[in-house]
Chain A
Amino acid sequence: MTKNTCIKENKVGISKHNKFNTSWWVLFILMIAFSYVTRLYKVSQPDHVCWDETHFGKMGSWYINRTFFFDVHPPLGKMLIALSGYLSGYDGTFPFEKPGDKYGNTSYVGMRMFCSTLGMFVVPFGYLTIWEMTKSVDAAAFAALFIVCDVGILTLTRYILLDPIFLFFMMGTVFGITKFRTLFHKPFSFQWWSWLMFTGFMMTSCISVKFVGLFTVILVGLKTIEDMWDILGDLKKPFKYTIQHFCARFLVLIVFPILLYMTYFYVHLQILNRSGNGDGFYSSGFQSQLIGNSLYNAKVAYGAVISLKNHRTGGGYLHSHYHLYPEGVGARQQQITTYTHKDENNHWRVKHYEKEYEEESPVKLLKHGDLIRLEHVASKRNLHSHKIQAPVTKKHNQVTGYGENGVGDANDVWKVLIEGGSDGEVVNTVTSKLKFIHYLQLCVLTTTGKQLPKWGYEQQEVSCNSNLRDKNSLWNVEDNIFPKLPNVSFEVYAPNFLKRFIESHAVMFQGNAGLKPKEGEVTSKPWQWPINYRGQFFSGNDHKIYLLGNPIIWWSNLLFLLLFVFIFMYNAIRHQRGYKDPPKVARMKNTMLKSCTWLFVSWMLHYVPFWAMGRILYFHHYFPALLFNSMLSAVVITYILESARFMFSETIFTTIYHTIKGLIFSFLLYSFYLFVPLSYGMPSTPATEPNSTMYGLKWLDSWEF
């Protein structure tokens, strides 16, 4: 209750200087203009593919061509890129092969403009958020300036990447929830509902661009819990009132986002309806929905050419090729692997365990319990296993391709079992889950999912496990080519949207977890990020662009972060000791420290989890956290200035106040001017040469320009 009255009084005016007036508008428009100009200046340069544009541009093209692909990020960001490309006349033909490829006649500027425009919004969102939090024009202006002067954010938001889109939605969410909370005195009004909807929309879009948006969702959740707690504590209102509030938030912040999120995926799956290079990652049933897939017959007969897909999420096809296991790795016979891409070498012919297949013989269907041989169609070798260690998993038996022209030995015989099947049950394409038991060694054909070394082309190991309960030992028939049987309609296998939705998530999470740094690779570590230890090249050659934060801003951010911790501790202890501030000071402190605490929590939320991540990390993962840190710095500066107001007399204070404000403004702008060549491109001369634009600015040895 007391807190609420506090905020109300704040609205009346924390001080005369900080009212919503002309200076507010002037600063706001200035910031937008500055932001827009800096972001769009030279946006078409360099006219070649920069850094990850090679991925996201390519995916944009795939959307335009409607071919199916696999990516670890959710689809919204890429769909927006594709949409902007489509609207600005890009036809989806440019291959985006590797960074440095010239665009030539391709109309890529539209996509870049779109991303930069979204990136531009980060600044006004920052301004508005801080304004709503603190009702202080100073703080808002500082925040916007901290954000706009950072060359790192500038670089990151100028290219065809997911980050500008992500940062846009993230800042939108933060602004939405802050604005929404200031409307607590007009509940259920139109304004109230629209800001709640806005927050829900932005939040969902944020997590639909990148999964790190989850941290933003958690932030919104925490703020909502705090909000609900305040409402619950208001004893003047009946409990029913709390329930109403809860339901409203449940609806708009949980139900609506889930529906919206699924809609994004629905659109994604509807657009991508042609078979493409991502098929292999998905189950056979999933693929049956794509135009141009390769499913043929419903029942498997002897003599059919089939491909076998492993049932592990993202599991590949049973594969062999004309290469032998190298010396010292088991028997020197032909390699058997699993491979996630479609290929002629995935084809196997089903044969009776002793008879050869003859064209004229009547059609005989494959049944549960049958003994078979599987012949690799391309190399005419049989799937074979023997009591020799598998290459990576030493406890399993090695699986090889053996024999000449389909003639092998007794170790080529496999028993087919349908999972949960009974004798005489016929093997179906796609739907039957099969196990292949080696007849002599009593082991089950499985894939361990481990990558083979270079000699195995980094495909995955296939082995024979004597533990018949192995989880990865289930396979299903996918391609099934047998002209004597009629073809089947795909609708039989068609999974509904929900199943496809769930499967694409399973595959994405697996893909994300699989992004482990390779041995010997130098990766970026989370501790390096806040200190701006090392950047990332976006473009090389004669137009060098280097993603690096403005060190002045980054390092002072750290300083203010520490300062905040001290200020917070100091005030908490004072409060715990029972000291009271005069009401004016207390009010100022309350607003400022509360905003700071939230910003600090947001910073932690967007930074600390990376420490626990095993996947490969990049420098640009820090930028969401950086935005919060920059806003925190702005509020801390304002806090210090406002505290000075109570310490000095009015005249001295005015002098100090204006001097410091001017100093900070000019300092930030000057540092921006110094480092801006990093974003707009610099010639290839190293910074050690006196004629370089960056001469004398290589402050850390680890910076690579």
Chain B
Amino acid sequence: MDNIGRECKSKIRKKDVELLSKLQNFNDFSCNKSEKKVINSKNVLYEADCQIKYDSKEQQTLLINIKIDIVSIILFLLAVITRFYKLGEPRNIVFDELHYGKYISLYMRRTFFFDSHPPFGKQLIATAAYLANFDGKFKFDRIGSEYSSNVPIFALRLIPALCGSLIIPVIYHFMLELSCQQWTAILAALLVLCDNAFLTQSRFILMEPMLILFGLFGLYCTIKYLNLQMYGASSQWIWLILALISLTLSLCIKYSGWFSWILGVSLIWVDYWKRIIPNRNISNKNLILKTIFQFSIIHFVSIILYLSVFYIHLSILKKAGPHDSVMTSAFQASLEGGLASITKGQPLQVVHGSQITLRHTHGRTCWLHSHPHVYPLRYPDKRGSSHQQQVTCYTFKDVNNWWIVKRPYKDTLVVGDPIDVIKHGDIIQLVHGITSRALNTHDVAAPMSPHNQEVSCYIDYNVSMPAQNLWKVDIINKEETDNAWHSIQSLIRFIHVNSSQALKFSGRQLPDWGFHQHEVVTDKVIQQEDTTWNVEEHRYTKSEDEKERERDMVSAEMIPIVATSLSFWQKFYELQYKMFFNHQENVQNHMYSSEPLEWPLIGRGIAYWVSSEHNAQIYLLGNIILWYSGVIAIIIYICLIVFYLIRRRRQYYDIDSNTWCHFTKIGHVLLLGYFLHYLPYFFVDRTLFLHHYLQALIFKCLLTAAVIEHVHTLLKRHYIFKIAYYAIICLWILAIVWVFRKFSVISYGIIPLSAVDVIKLRWKNSWDFIIHKQ
């Protein structure tokens, strides 16, 4: 208790002197009121100050500035040397260059592609490729195949390498801005510089270097903004905007950049909560206005930027390409040379007598199909069928995909004058074009999904199984077309009149007897994606004798435009929808996939590439000493903070308030950043790889440096310990550099290795390097 007393006294004295001046401008963004306490019986509130002495710092600015530049330039040069060394080699497709290279060549050819990540990273690389006159004609077929001479591989790899190099000086400044000492900042930058995983990842056409750079720079700007805001510098707004831009761009490279965005924005709001809201000098009205302003500026900047990235994406990619079929007919029709070329000039309104093909709108692309073959009498599991004509969903264009829309009471199929427009809610029959049988469903279990009804084209066997071939047209987006059924645009459900079930693509494949086409059933759950259909091709039925008049009528109904033009919003909405809900990319158990739990201790890496002649290879692997120290640093940090918290709760103050504030700030930014970028992967239901960990890893490296600094400050009184500590740290750094050098052969993949060399590098049994069989 003596200790407390002494400390309290000294603090009260300090407080008396400084209280008035501090009431105005005290508060650091991470700490303020948390340390209210009651001393003895006097109810004196004491607020710990976390202030850095601004005046003294400002005087030094000039001096420091020069130092900073030299240091960061040296760091940058070191990074450039390591990252750019023989960047053009190997001249082969390395790992995911396969995908990204393909996307970039599609950008060059302005051909539409579909990827579940946002496009900004690819756009950056595509810009570099465009400037280097890449024609996009190279075929990215498989990992390891050699680039032809017309691929400017250096230019393609330039942006990731540059970003990877820029990360190093940004780290240096970021750590300084977190009020770490200069040597800590240098150490942090060096640690990242000497990590093999960052090196490997920065040398190829991959997204992570850009993702990390923008995320980190955004956070740097955020901290800078918060620090400047404390003494109201007007340049703070520039930093806020910069922060938001950078964080949003990180999000536009990969959705995992969103974690950085969340971190940055939460830092801003926490600061707002602690500093602005308690400020009674701001009136309630002004506070509300200020909050709205801050809120809208944060989201406005982010949303505008996100939208413009997609706007650029969609306005560049104008031509139809290999990924079209993922999108709806309407989207495809808006692309040059896609559906537009087919649908040009076809009538818009679906009427009695229309000949149509019906596309399954969402998910797998296929068209409603039928053929003269019938369902087998009995299935292998002894269930019976109706033995009527099969109806399937077929993934290819075929003459058997044509259906004719017919009103039940009209016999002639000719399109009359005036045309008989089908509207929402009308009852129709669908007659198969080639076999002239009507689409039918009945209470017979479907072949592959026995809980659903079978769909067939009705054949009358005279076995007291009457035709049930009436369907109600349910137009989902009827508001857009004033209840009328339009080709391409209208999304339709067919509701069976007798059973009120909806026509549905079940997703299962029929066996041999169904030619492996997809099964079509009806389902009582009407509102689901797989019950949605739309008309793709469309023409009116013309009869022989009235040919001339028909043609007139048809040409009067022609759509005047060349292609349907969807607005940016419609395209954007559809693309986003598909990106979030279309998980077709599920790579089946990739050979080098790993679990989040294996990452911190490098359970396994990823083989990126191996030379076809010798064992030179590129294998993604971290610097094992650094990664293990990172884990230890996190444990030390958590133990220390728990210890401090418990001690402070008992009013023992082991470290002075400046150190404490610095320590918690580190935790708030770096430890939280680490967990925010790491823990979500435990809940992701996708194939994961080691490189997903890199974003979190960077925070771990920085935290390691910060913890080293903190332990150093703890040791300040013990001279001998301090010397020993320096020695240990030096040895440790040397070890890291040595491991970095040793494993750099598999980061660069340039030096030929013998099988023995490779096995020597296998420090962990689970690192499965590739060794050619002799």
Contact = CB atoms under 8 A, between A and B. Distances in A.
A448 B649 CA distance: 54
B649 A232 contact: yes
Interface string A380-421: 000000000000110100000000000000000000000000
B528 A522 contact: yes
A393 B587 CA distance: 12
Contact of B449 (A392, A520, A578, A614): A520
Contact of A520 (B38, B284, B506, B768): B506
A232 B278 contact: no
A235 interface: yes
A519 B584 CA distance: 13
Contacts of B449: 520
A695 interface: no
B395 interface: no
Contacts of B646: 232
Contact of A614 (B273, B650, B685): B685
Most chain-A Cβ atoms within 10 A of its Cβ — which of B287, B588, B649, B685? B649
B651 interface: yes
A4 to B, nearest CB: 14
Nearest to B449: A520
| Interface majority SS (helix, strand, loop, mixed), chain B | loop
Contact of B278 (A239, A327, A519, A576): A576
A467 interface: yes
Contact of A519 (B507, B650, B683, B685): B507
Contacts of B277: 573, 576-577
Contacts of A393: 588-589
B591 interface: yes
Most chain-A Cβ atoms within 10 A of its Cβ — which of B287, B449, B508, B650? B650
Given A519-B507, A576-B273, A612 B683 contact: yes
A467 B766 CA distance: 12
B525 interface: yes
Contacts of A577: 277-278, 280, 284, 287
Interface in A143-165: none
A702 B526 CA distance: 9
A392 B525 CA distance: 32
A232 B652 CA distance: 12
A489 B280 CA distance: 83
Given A229-B649, A576-B273, A578-B278, A522 B507 contact: no
B508 A520 contact: yes
B685 A233 contact: no
Most chain-B Cβ atoms within 10 A of its Cβ — which of A1, A393, A395, A520? A520
A395 B1 CA distance: 70
A239 B650 contact: yes
A327 B515 CA distance: 13
Interface residues of B, number: 25
A580 interface: no
Nearest to A613: B683
B649 A233 contact: yes
A393 B512 CA distance: 22
Contacts of B278: 576-578
Given A519-B507, A519-B508, A520-B508, A235 B650 contact: yes
A117 B728 CA distance: 66
Interface string A564-595: 00000000010011100000000000000000
Contacts of A395: 591
A469 B235 CA distance: 59
Interface in B460-482: none
A235 B280 contact: no
Interface in A105-126: none
B276 to A, nearest CB: 10
B285 to A, nearest CB: 13
Contacts of A702: 527
A639 to B, nearest CB: 23
Interface in B78-111: none
Contacts of B591: 395, 467
A239 B4 CA distance: 14
Interface string B520-541: 0000010110000000000000
A205 B277 CA distance: 46
Interface string B341-363: 00000000000000000000000
A578 B280 contact: yes
Contacts of A576: 273, 277-278
Nearest to A522: B525
A573 B277 CA distance: 7
Interface string A1-13: 1000000000000
Interface in A488-533: 519-520, 522
Interface string A280-295: 0000000000000000
Contacts of B506: 520
Contact of A469 (B280, B525, B649, B768): B768
Nearest to B277: A576
A233 B284 CA distance: 34
Contacts of A327: 512
A519 B280 CA distance: 59
Contacts of A519: 507-508
A588 B611 CA distance: 74
A662 B511 CA distance: 64
Interface string A202-244: 0000000000000000000000000001001101000100000
Contacts of B527: 702
A410 B226 CA distance: 74
Interface in A462-503: 467, 469
26 contacts: A229-B649, A232-B649, A232-B650, A235-B650, A235-B651, A239-B650, A327-B512, A393-B589, A448-B589, A450-B589, A467-B591, A467-B768, A469-B768, A519-B508, A520-B449, A520-B506, A520-B507, A522-B525, A576-B273, A576-B277, A576-B278, A577-B284, A577-B287, A578-B280, A612-B683, A614-B685
Given A232-B646, A577-B277, 18 more contacts: A1-B38, A232-B649, A233-B649, A392-B588, A395-B591, A448-B589, A450-B589, A467-B591, A467-B768, A519-B508, A520-B449, A520-B507, A576-B273, A576-B277, A576-B278, A577-B278, A577-B280, A702-B527
